[in-house]
């Protein structure tokens, strides 16, 4: 078989008491109990570990959010402080505010563009920093080497949500990050038919991540692992297409009279383009535009009539999606003064001319309101 078999299991049977005792002595040596995974899970974990130079291992989770929350719980304890980028995915923030805070772990939010200035936000209680680069709504690129250098010098763990880039476009551990997380739900699975997360750790952090995952009881089904492995086989090809189409559309939008700015880090006009060029091996297909005028209710004229863009959360699938975004409702450490609403686009694998024609008609409907 080219692919590992889909091995579904809760119970594993042992031939003899000696076999059972050997497994208890070394539960990671082979099959033990379903929650420790089967060959199908290990094949996906090993593949993800191999994609991250410097990694000791990968754990799988029932969603990207579960990968983030477990990684944080693995490294934080009561009395600690967590620094969270103001550009973080909103459920990462709500976990910190609503579940970590009652456990005595305080979260503070920082400007994603702070770079080595992160030191000014730290206190002696800071034990972890949550990064996300680019932010999946606002697309700031973080200066990862500058931040991780400051963190490592103080023994502070850094954890990144690397869902936008995937390890094919950014290798965070090589830049000093300790745990690299992906919502496999997005580009890696790639077909909008399942949720899964992964966390990949350095040798120093791996034992804690592994133990926290097991103790919190996380498990994913072998069938979903097989689907994610299938997605991984074509990830490089799909990302190239997402990247090319998104860049073509982003450039076209940059010169559209209704558009104030385009937030795509691979465009030279993006404020963090130099950092992007330095650290990333390429781009993917998610970016946002800011319109020159209007407010959220006006965006219905644009998005309701789009033929090729579905209105929905998530991204990274084969199909294009559109989502109006309200940053100031989410953020606490930074504000952006914008002339009009933000529209996020996830560019899928459709024909790029069809997508441009669709957006062109939508922007004409938008403009006609003023
Ligand atoms: C940047 C980012 N991280 C993590 C997640 C969470 O993934 P999941 O939906 O699998 O929990 C998402 C989902 O939208 C996301 O956009």
Distance of CA 330 to the CA centre of its chain: 17
89 catalytic, yes or no? yes
pLDDT digits (tens, 9 = 90+) for 354-365: 999 999 999 999
Question: What's the gap in Å between 115 CA and the centre of ligand 1?
Answer: 24
Task: Record the tokens describing residue 313, joined without a space.
Answer: 């959360």
Active-site position among 86, 111, 161, 178: 161
Q: Taking the complete model, does pTM exceed 0.95, yes or no?
A: yes
CA 118 to CA 39: how far, in whole Å? Answer: 42
CA 137 to CA 301: how far, in whole Å? Answer: 21
186 catalytic, yes or no? yes
Strand 179-183 versus strand 197-201 pairing type: antiparallel
Sign for the pseudo-dihedral over CA of 190, 243, 93, 218: positive
35 catalytic, yes or no? yes
Divide the 370 residues of the chain into consecutive groups of 10 and give the mean pLDDT of each group.
Answer: 96 98 96 97 98 97 98 98 97 97 98 97 98 97 98 98 98 98 98 98 98 97 98 98 98 98 98 98 98 97 98 97 95 94 98 98 97
Q: Smallest Cα–Cα separation from 257: which of 349, 337, 366? A: 366
What pLDDT does 144 receive? Answer: 98
Nearest CA to ligand 1 atom 6: 64
Residue 119 DSSP label: G
Q: Smallest Cα–Cα separation from 196: which of 217, 215, 214, 218? A: 218
* Contact call for residues 306 and 319 (beta carbons, < 8 A): no
Residue 104 DSSP label: T
Residue given tokens 């953020």 in the structure block: 331
- CA–CA distance from 340 to each of 48, 295, 322 (Å)? 40, 6, 16
157 in contact with ligand 1, CB cutoff 6 A: no
* Contact call for residues 269 and 253 (beta carbons, < 8 A): no
Q: Taking the CB of residue 231, how many other CB atoms lie within 10 A of it? A: 23
Task: Record the tokens describing residue 238, joined without a space.
Answer: 């799909």
Question: What's the gap in Å between 77 CA and the centre of ligand 1?
Answer: 24
What pLDDT does 3 receive? Answer: 94
65 in contact with ligand 1, CB cutoff 6 A: yes
What pLDDT does 118 receive? Answer: 98
What pLDDT does 336 receive? Answer: 87
pLDDT digits (tens, 9 = 90+) for 151-206: 999 999 999 999 999 999 999 999 999 999 999 999 999 999 999 999 999 999 99
Question: What's the gap in Å between 366 CA and the centre of ligand 1?
Answer: 29
* Contact call for residues 188 and 166 (beta carbons, < 8 A): yes
What pLDDT does 137 receive? Answer: 96
């Amino acid at each position: 078989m080219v692919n590992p078999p889909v091995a579904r299991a809760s119970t594993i049977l042992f031939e003899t008491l000696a076999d059972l005792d050997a497994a208890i002595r070394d539960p990671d040596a082979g099959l033990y109990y379903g929650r420790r995974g089967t060959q199908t899970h290990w094949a996906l974990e090993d593949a993800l570990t191999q994609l991250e130079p410097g990694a000791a291992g990968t754990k799988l989770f029932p969603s990207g959010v579960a990968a983030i929350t477990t990684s944080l719980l693995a490294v934080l304890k009561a009395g600690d402080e967590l620094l969270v980028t103001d550009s973080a995915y909103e459920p990462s923030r709500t976990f910190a505010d609503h579940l970590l805070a009652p456990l005595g772990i305080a979260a503070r939010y920082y400007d994603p563009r702070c770079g080595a200035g992160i030191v000014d936000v730290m206190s002696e209680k800071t034990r972890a920093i949550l990064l996300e680069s680019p932010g999946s709504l606002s697309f700031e690129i973080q200066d990862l080497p500058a931040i991780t250098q400051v963190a490592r010098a103080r023994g502070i763990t850094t954890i990144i949500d690397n869902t936008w880039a995937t390890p094919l476009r950014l290798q965070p551990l090589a830049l000093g990050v300790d745990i690299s997380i992906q919502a496999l739900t997005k580009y890696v699975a790639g077909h909008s038919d399942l949720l899964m997360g992964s966390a990949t750790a350095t040798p120093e952090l791996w034992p804690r991540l592994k133990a926290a995952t097991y103790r919190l009881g996380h498990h994913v089904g072998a069938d979903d692992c097989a689907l994610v492995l299938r997605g991984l086989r074509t990830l490089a090809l799909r990302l190239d297409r997402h990247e090319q189409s998104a860049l073509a559309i982003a450039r076209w939008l940059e010169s559209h009279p209704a558009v104030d700015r385009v937030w795509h880090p691979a465009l030279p006009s993006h404020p963090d383009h130099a950092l992007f060029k330095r650290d990333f091996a390429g781009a993917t297909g998610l970016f946002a535009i800011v319109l020159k005028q209007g407010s959220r209710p006006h965006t219905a004229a644009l998005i309701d009539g789009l033929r090729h863009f579905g209105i929905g959360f998530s991204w990274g699938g084969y199909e294009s999606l559109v989502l109006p975004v309200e940053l100031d409702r989410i953020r606490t450490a930074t504000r952006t003064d914008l002339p009009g609403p933000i529209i996020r686009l996830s560019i899928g694998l459709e024909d790029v001319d069809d997508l441009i024609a669709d957006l062109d008609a939508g922007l004409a409907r938008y403009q006609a309101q003023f």
